[in-house]
Amino acid sequence: DTGVSQDPRHKITKRGQNVTFRCDPISEHNRLYWYRQTLGQGPEFLTYFQNEAQLEKSRLLSDRFSAERPKGSFSTLEIQRTEQGDSAMYLCASSPQNPSNRIGGARGGSEQYFGPGTRLTVT
């Protein structure tokens, strides 16, 4: 399987605990994204990396959240002092920097391929 993988698939934790999620992107993709999806809503952007550089962060990403991509390959998302409001599906996606066969090149962005997600439940 050469798609995006995420680990763990499910995580149940008690309020106040720290949790860490891992994402392995498609190997030739240099862009990696994190999103959060709550029940009945579309995904919300959290942050993205180009190679190892974190280039954009949403204001949803409070000080308790931190993401890394140390070698430009896999990424981790850590939530410290979890709260019940952190309960959600955390989705990772990856994309190539320069999509091929695209009229106008990459001006309109690249399609993002999503992993299966990590469902976090904070009790």
Write the CA distances from 16 to 36, 117, 123, integer angstroms: 19, 22, 10
Q: Is 109 in the site for another protein (CB under 8 A)?
A: yes
Write the CA distances from 66 to 19, 34, 110, integer angstroms: 11, 11, 24
Q: Which of 21, 23, 36, 48 binds another protein (CB under 8 A)?
A: 48
Q: Is 104 in the site for another protein (CB under 8 A)?
A: yes
Q: Is 2 in the site for another protein (CB under 8 A)?
A: no
Cβ-contact 82, 74 below 8 angstroms: no
Q: Which of 21, 33, 65, 90 binds another protein (CB under 8 A)?
A: 33
Site of interaction with another protein (CB under 8 A): 31, 33, 35, 40-45, 48, 55-56, 58, 89, 91, 93, 102-104, 107-117, 119
